[in-house]
Structure 1
Amino acid sequence: MAPKPSQPYASVPQNESGSRESEEFELQSINSLDFEIPQESHIEEDVVNEDTQPKSNMRMAFMNMANSILGAGIIGQPYAFKETGVVGGIVVLILLTWLIDWTLRLIVINASLAHTRSYQDTVMYCFGKYGRGLLLFAISSFAYGGCMAFCVIIGDTIPHVLKAFIPHSITHSAALSWLFHRNTITVLFTTCISYPLSLNRDISKLAKASGFALVGMLIIVIITVIRGHFVDPSLKAKLTIQEWTLNINVFQGISVISFALVCHHNTLFIYQSLERATIAKFSKLTHVACLVSMVCCFVMGVSGVLNFGGNTKGNILNNFKSDDNWINIARFCFGLNMLTTFPLEIFVVRDVLKDIVLAGHSDVGSTGSTAHLELSSKQHFFITTVLVVTSMSVSLFTCNLGIILELIGSTSASLMAYIIPPMCYLKLKWDSIDYKTMNKSEKRSFILQTVLPTVGCAIFGFLVMVISSYMSIYNSLHDKSNGHCVAD
């Protein structure tokens, strides 16, 4: 067991009598969306925030957070609702949004309680190097898997847009037709747009690109919802009773929805980029970002599965024909969205690799923290290049987005969002009390408000991880079709 922290809570202002006000972050109840957070509470500036770093206002931070949430997962929502059932999907989406909102804020609160600079340092403080290693694996695989998914989407969207709006004589000419092939477009757009953006060291500089991506996402949702009513009936199929209510593949649907909502690996990056960051301020940001994301997922998921029924694919845009010009506009916007979201994920994977590369540095403290160290220019360039090239390479061999979203959502997302944050919170709270000396009322309150919610969340995450991973792999091995690609 790790030693108890000498200062278990974030510093707070002194009152007029000079005594320190107690600031404890307790769960009010299992149905509560908020902690008891004083409006001006904040994580110590010398621990998490560094005033020398460039800062984002609330609007910029919202763009980065919402863009990180509303990435590739948005177009997988109709498929998720088919897997869960329409009624089951609505219930699951609401519950997962609440859970994601809670665990996002837990990450910042845990960093305050442990006096650490990053998510991985918090886990290191709580569970040692093995816990930290597990988190690093989850973060890197989630972000890296997201990069693969983004490149798959670029290949599924941009080529059809170009072929629709560029004369046939050019796109099918003997000399130039190769330029409009799926793999060629994937390589060109990723290396010419996403790669330069990925070389940025400062996440706040991506706010404008994130704002552009969010506008594009709104266009995608509107066009897809409206256009779905006018597609050829041959592209549709009736929903079964299970697909209307609660489907047997509910855990796979949970994984896809989780992938769409989880952005825990970016949480402290976004928090640290805030001007005059406080936990109360970050909570408001989280509530708004999660609510907006839930609404977008709901609209896209319900409309998509009702329009295409049993034929709904892992990428809802692939349900439409390649010559549908309205959908090609949506494909174009989504392709550009992926090009600008891709750097956010590269930023995260690179930060994880930084921990590994600089782990043996003489300036690294006993906690293993490398948050104050930076990669050299050569290291930064080399790691970024390798990450971009390798993740892009996977997309050249598949267009099955559904299996990618399911596996990442069931493993990495479950660890990052449902298992590790509540377990860290429970560990930190347990280390800050003396359970043996507590009276019955205090023990009962601790169990109901802290133990049951955190352990319950972790058990849920474990079940999603095991059951969904097994079902996804089993179904993938028995699916011999290429039914996830764009309709002809």
Structure 2
Amino acid sequence: MSKKYSSLNGSPLDRDNNPNRNNKDDIIFEQDSDSFNNDVFQPQASLDDMESLEYDEGALDDEGTDYEGTLNDAVSNETTDVNSPLASIIKEPRGTLKAAFFNMTNSIVGAGIVGIPMAFRSMGFFSGVLLLMVLAAVNDWTLRLIILNTKLSGGKTYTSFVSRTYGTFGRVVVLLAQGFFAFGGSVGFAVIIGDSIPHVLRSLFSDAVDDSKILDFLFSRNPVIVFCITFISYPLSLTRDISKLAKASGLALISMLVIITIVLVRGPSVSGSMRGSIKGSAWFLQPDIFQGISVISFAMVCHHNTTFIYDSIRKPTLDRFNAVTHLSCIVSTILCALLGISGYLIFGNKTKGNILNNFPTNDPAINVARFCFGLNMLTTFPLEIYVVREVFKQLIAIYHDESVDGTESDSASLKDLTTFQHFVITSIVSFLPMIISLFTCNLGAVLELVGATSGSIIAYIFPPLCYDKMTKFGKSKLKRAPLMICVVFGFVLMIVSSTQTIADSLTGKHGNHCVE
């Protein structure tokens, strides 16, 4: 019995009748199951045809399929010809490797970076430095696994390869994980708005605030959160096309660099009363180590953007994407280490979930950092709401059986939400994070919970789990071990860290995280 992989229009890819076939790029094959063990393959199509193939879902059954040899050939023969079909699949304008590097670094170095010093406090100084490097390496590996998974499955998005390997159940789980990650991010952004904008306003209008009880109330934390979300972020979230907001978020990386620089410069000059200490086991290992790992995971997870970054490269090859991934992870790790090490060494056991909250409210330089951070959150908040809304859109489609395949970017081809659905969903997912942020300024707990749950699913569980299912045929347990270790680590992190975070939040273990 043989399995033929056909193009999307249903016609077999005939090697003899293909005038554009390049012999050295032949990698897709007709597989004879009787001769499989003898490695007898009949090439059927070139790599350039690879992403237009429709794979048989039966090939992804529990017994697995030997796609790994195919993939290795694909990597070794991958063309860099910009005029090839592979390079022309995406119709949007392509960017340079430099642009892809900035996009990926910007995706990694986001709001979570201000929680890295708190992660070091939870793990211990030397454990924090070591685990930051280890998690960066794992992050780099799983980012590259995502692109391998899309090539093996014949899909083009994260959701598509999960759907191809684990069906509708897997698709629903990954959609919920992506939705919760974006929702948790929006809660964190609302908390940051409350931790930053009020102090900038009170600093600018200090005399007026001192003389007016009304201004004193209006410029306090909760009224500012309500005003910013209701009259700025929420109206921006209601738009269906947020491409212009995506451009505005390009300032995020610059804002992060400003924040890191200011903290490094101003940190050593804070008064002794605001400094903390590091004693004994705090230098080496702490019992809250899993919570620290969750914060780092939240900060470094950008896996849901990986396929879009890959498709944005002018010549999208695995080698070029790997180079972008390596460099982005290295730079992001350096930036996280700079802020984490400096922040924890200065504030020690007094380190808060948002390192900026450790500084006084009347510090002009820190208020510049707060302003940059808060403004960035105002424009980034609608992007997270957009992601959550798209998740609802796909879940509604699955409920109505509009789409179960998920081979491509399904959201674009699905029926749009009605005006009523759009308004109700946007309103709920915009104001619910706002309400949550009114009751807490513990950014660390938000980052821990989101990183432990959805971050683990997106970064540590699905990429290796799907790759293992598609390549496990004929592989020894030793070769599969790294994949399974990563999956087990993801589940352990999810359970242990979530439990610790919820327990600590209920008992108030780490004290007040607000600006004093």
TM-score, structure 2 as length reference: 0.80
Name the amino acid aligned to 1:375: D
Q: Which residue of 2 aligns with 1:373?
A: 414
Q: Give the deviation of 1:156 after TM superposition.
A: 0.5
Closer, same or farther: CA 205–298 of 1 in aligned 2, 3 Å: same
- Whether 1:40 and 2:40 are equivalent positions in the alignment is no
Aligned to 2:440: 398
Matching of residue 409 in structure 1 with residue 464 in structure 2:
no
**1:297 equivalent in structure 2:** 336
CA contact (8 A) 1:149 1:404 kept: yes
- The 5 A counterparts of 1:387-466 are 387-430=429-472, 433=473, 435=474, 443-444=475-476, 447-449=477-479, 451-466=480-495
User: 1:210 maps to what in 2?
Assistant: 249
Give yes or no for the alignment of 1:15 onto 2:15: no
Say if 1:471 and 1:168 are closer, same or farther in 2 by CA, change over 3 A: same
Question: By how many angstroms is 1:178 displaced?
Answer: 3.4
Residue in 1 that maps onto 2:37: none
Asked whether the 8 Å contact 2:208–2:215 carries over to 1, the reply is no
Match among 217, 221, 228 for residue 178 of structure 1: 217
- Provide structure 1 residue ranges, at least 5 long, that are not aligned to the other structure: 29-34, 436-442
Which residue is equivalent to 1:157? 196
Asked whether 1:233 is paired with 2:262, we answer: no
Deviation string for 1:24-83 (max 9, x for gaps)? 76899xxxxxx86836399x97999541x4655545544443333222211101010111
Q: Measured at CA, do residues 288 and 316 of structure 1 come closer, stay the same or move farther in structure 2, by a change above 3 Å?
A: same
Alignment of 1:136-285 (within 5 A): 136-170=175-209, 172-199=211-238, 205-285=244-324
Alpha carbons of 1:41 and 1:25: their partners in 2 closer, same or farther (altered >3 Å)? farther
Deviation of the 1:218 alpha carbon: 0.6
| Counterpart in the other structure of 1:71 | 110
CA distance in 1, matches of 2:418, 2:102: 28
Tell me if the contact between 1:63 and 1:210 (Cα under 8 Å) persists in the aligned partners. Answer: no
Q: What's the CA shift for 1:486?
A: 0.5
Q: Is the deviation greater in 165-174 or in 368-377?
A: 368-377
Contact residue 41 and residue 279 of structure 1 kept, 8 A = no
Q: Which moved more, 1:344-353 or 1:388-397?
A: 344-353
CA–CA separation in structure 1 for the residues paired with 2:88 and 2:281: 48
**Contact (CA 8 Å) 1:423, 1:458: kept in 2 or not?**
yes
CA distance in 1: counterparts of 2:289 and 2:192, whole angstroms: 24
**For each residue in 1:371-410, what CA deviation from the matched residue of structure 2 results, as whole angstroms up to 9, or x when unmatched?**
3225247244543333222222211111111111111111
Matches within 5 A, 1:110-129: 110-129=149-168
- Following TM superposition, by how much is the alpha carbon of 1:95 offset from its aligned partner in structure 2, in angstroms? 0.8
Shift of 1:158: 0.6
Counterpart of 1:439?
none
Q: Which is further off, 178-187 or 299-308?
A: 178-187
Aligned position for 1:32: none
Assess, with a 3 A threshold, how the Cα gap between structure 1 residues 203 and 105 changes in structure 2: closer, same or farther. Answer: farther
Compared with structure 1, are the counterparts of its residues 252 and 125 closer, same or farther at alpha carbon in structure 2 (3 Å cutoff)? same
Q: Residues 276, 216 of structure 1: CA spacing in aligned structure 2 closer, same or farther, 3 A cutoff?
A: same
Q: What is the root-mean-square deviation of aligned Cα atoms in Å?
A: 3.4
Cα distance in 1 for partners of 2:443, 2:227 equals 20
Distance 2:103 2:80 in 1: 23
AA in 2 matched with 1:339: L
Give the match for residue 31 of structure 1.
Answer: none
Percent identity, aligned pairs only, is 45
Match of 2:387 in 1: 348
Q: Kindly tell me: are residues 288 and 74 of structure 1, through their superposed partners in 2, closer, same or farther at Cα, counting changes over 3 Å?
A: same
Alpha carbons of 1:86 and 1:17: their partners in 2 closer, same or farther (altered >3 Å)?
A: closer
Q: 2:506 aligns with which of 466, 469, 477?
A: 477
Counterpart CA distance in 2 for 1:343 and 1:355 is 18
Deviation at 1:318, TM superposition (A): 0.9
Instruction: Give the superposition deviation at 1:97.
Output: 0.7
Note if 1:310 corresponds to 2:345. Answer: no
SS of 2:117's partner is helix
Q: Once the two structures are superposed, what CA deviation does each residue of 1:93-126 show, in whole Å capped at 9, x if it has no partner?
A: 1111111111112112211211123222211111
Q: Give the counterpart of 2:377 among 338, 343, 347.
A: 338
CA distance in 1, matches of 2:24, 2:329: 40
- Counterpart code for 2:305: N
Query: Partner amino acid for 2:348?
Result: G
Q: Provide the rounded CA distance (Å) in 2 between the counterparts of 1:109 and 1:305.
A: 37
Pair member with larger Rg: 2
Aligned residue for 2:60? none
Question: 1:86 and 1:146, CA in 2 relative to 1: closer, same or farther beyond 3 A?
Answer: same
How far did 1:286 drift?
Answer: 2.2
> Cα distance, 1:265 vs. partner?
2.0
Distance 1:481 1:346 in 2: 30
Q: What SS is found at the alignment partner of 1:470?
A: helix
Question: How many residue pairs get matched?
Answer: 463
Are residues 88 and 368 of structure 1, via their aligned partners in 2, closer, same or farther at CA, if it must alter by over 3 Å?
same
Structure 1 residues 59 and 202, CA, compared in 2 at 3 Å: closer, same or farther? farther
Q: Does 1:386 align with 2:428?
A: yes
Task: Quote the Cα distance in structure 2 between the aligned partners of 1:7 and 1:178.
Answer: 67
Amino acid at match of 2:78: P
Cα distance in 2 for residues equivalent to 1:179 and 1:358: 43
Contact preservation (8 Å) 2:445, 2:505: yes
- Equivalent pair of 2:68/2:471 in contact (CA under 8 Å): no
Q: TM-score, normalised by structure 1?
A: 0.85
Distance 2:69 2:103 in 1: 28
The answer to whether the Cα contact below 8 Å between 1:152 and 1:395 also exists between their aligned partners in 2 is yes
3-state SS of paired residue (1:116) = coil
- Please tell me whether the aligned partners of residues 191 and 437 of structure 2 are also in contact (alpha carbons under 8 angstroms): yes
Contact 2:233 2:382 in 1 (8 A): yes
